[in-house]
Amino acid sequence: MTINDVAHSAPATPSLIDGPALWPAQAHTPSVLGRQLVVERGEGCWLYTTDGRKLFDGTAGLWHANVGHGHPELAQAAYEQMLQLETYHIFARYSNDKALQLGEKLAAISPIERAKVILNSGGSDAIDVACKLARRHWQREGRTSKKVILSREFAYHGLHAYGTSIAGLEFNREGYGSESLVPETARISFNDPAQVEEVIQRIGAENIAALVTEAVQGTGGVNPPTPGYLETIARLCRENDILLILDEVITGFGRMGTMFAAEYYGLEPDMITFAKGVTSGYAPLGGVMVAPRLWEPFYVDAPDTPIFRHGATYAGHATACAVALKHLEILEREQLVPRVAELESVLRQALEDLAARVEAVTEVRSAGLLGGVTLDASLSAEQVCDDLVELGFIGRPLRGNTIQISPPFIITDAELHSLIDAIGQAVTGRSGK
């Protein structure tokens, strides 16, 4: 039995059955039903709930609302596109103008030279596509044993079949009747490149298709890489013919103060997965940027040229793409990425001050506009985040008794200090120290 199976087959409780029909995501239902925070309006960094609360969004939702909430230009872009054409699919010889335009734009800003772009509806989708394409690549090359996908402990790559199977947060993999939904996966150390080398030797490079990694682990607790780690695993991938998939679902489109984390850490991945920050969440959109070595064989002008048999009705959804195009225009026009680069040191300093001031804060970590505050074992990050809500701020508990900080890029220095101060207040309120 796994930790997810503890509450096995007891009948559902009548008071919970009578709650909302919507099944909440990633929730222990008895802990959340009856106390849900129902957001009905957003403006900039602020959210308004149906029970009259005004809350500062210290996490930009699930790391997505980078330009802030309620941006009228994005609403207008969606409205105008829907009047013109809600969407048309991009299967076979059909396409739509906005998907093509977004492809050009993304290829132009991609850290991958001459990238082709695959579009879909979110980060979990993107991960599934990237892992499928990695396997498809080696099958097509005739190196048919190269199937294993490596991922790091504490990794989060969404929750579709591949994301679940390569999850480094064990609780996301448990309870499905086997170690993983896709059998050919293996975990590597999140911070020790020597161990990664050992795993590659044990499994055999001839059996490994790709290594998937976040640049800064998000849901795993905001873990920036230990110095040299990413560079070393990138080298191991190159030397062993293992494709490197950089999951930039959180870090893509500015959260590091560079457009992509690949630039921040000087990496040259074979694929980059993205979602969230491509639209700041104004439309469900994600995708994969693909390097020439992977796409060129599918672009040969010959009858036997292979086909990548992947696609979905909403791949390249015209309204989502129109929103993304307007969103990227706003990001550039308002100079939000260089602004994040400025905020990086403000956040780092504020967190260091917090750790020095509040004894129950055992560690702080940050990179770009991503921060994590780890609490000592006498406290629960979940309870502290509940207290934070009462102070008017949203933080989010992550693995390792850590509080997530990832505000919208439009946050002011003063607001960032208020957010960190409020966390300090909530921690001190609980711990008395």
Nearer of residues 96 and 164 to ligand PMP, judged by Cβ: 164
60: left (phi over 0), alpha (psi -120 to 50) or beta: left
Query: Alpha-carbon Rg of the chain, whole angstroms?
Result: 22
Please, which residues have CB within 8 angstroms of residue 219's CB and are 6 or more apart in sequence?
A: 156, 169, 398, 399
Residue 222 or 422 having the CB closest to ligand PMP: 222
Least separation, in Å, of the C-beta of 431 and ligand PMP? 29
Decide whether 208 or 275 has the Cβ nearer to ligand PMP: 275
CB of 286 to ligand PMP, least distance (A): 6
What's the closest the beta carbon of residue 157 comes to ligand PMP, in angstroms?
5
Q: Which is nearer to ligand PMP, 81 or 213 (CB)?
A: 213
* Residues 355/372, Cβ–Cβ less than 8 Å: no
309 in Cβ contact with 171 (< 8 Å): no
| Minimum gap (Å) between residue 368 Cβ and ligand PMP | 14
Q: What is the C-alpha to C-alpha distance for residues 362 and 87, in angstroms, rounded to an integer?
A: 50
In the complex with ligand PMP, which residue's Cβ is closer, 9 or 26? 26
Q: How far is the CB of 276 from ligand PMP (least distance, A)?
A: 6
Minimum CB separation of residue 63 from ligand PMP in Å reads 6
State in angstroms the smallest separation of the CB of 224 from ligand PMP.
Answer: 14
Closest approach, Cβ 304 to ligand PMP, in A, equals 35
Residue nearest to ligand PMP (CB): 123
The CA-CA-CA angle for residues 372, 373, 378, to 5°, reads 140
Q: Which residues contact 343 (CB under 8 A, 6 or more apart)?
A: 257, 369, 409, 411, 413, 416
Alpha-carbon separation of residue 387 from 78, 357, 372, 428 (angstroms): 37, 19, 17, 11
The DSSP code sequence of 121-135 is: SSHHHHHHHHHHHHH
Q: Which CB sits closer to ligand PMP, 126 or 322?
A: 126
How far is CA 11 from each of CA 6, 7, 39, rounded to the nearest angstrom? Answer: 14, 10, 30
Tell me which residues touch ligand PMP (CB under 6 A). Answer: 62, 122-124, 127, 156-158, 214, 218-219, 247, 249-250, 275, 286
State the minimum distance, in angstroms, from the CB of residue 249 to ligand PMP.
4
Phi, psi of 185 (to 5 degrees): -140, 160
Which C-beta is closer to ligand PMP: that of 158 or that of 408?
A: 158
Q: Is 118 helix (H, G, I), strand (E, B) or coil?
A: strand
Amino acid present at 74 = L
The distance of closest approach from Cβ of residue 356 to ligand PMP in the complex, given in angstroms and rounded to an integer, is 30
* Structure token pair of residue 51: 């029970």
The answer to whether 409 and 253 have CB atoms below 8 angstroms apart is: no
**In this complex, which beta carbon is closest to ligand PMP, that of residue 257 or of residue 281?**
281
The Cβ-side half-sphere exposure at 260, using a 13 Å CA radius, reads 25
Q: Which residue has the tokens 């969230």?
A: 276
How many C-alpha atoms does 153 have within 13 Å on its Cβ side? 10
CA 13 to chain centre: 34
When the beta carbons of 267 and 361 are compared against ligand PMP, the nearer one is 267
Which of 210/361 has CB closer to ligand PMP?
Answer: 210
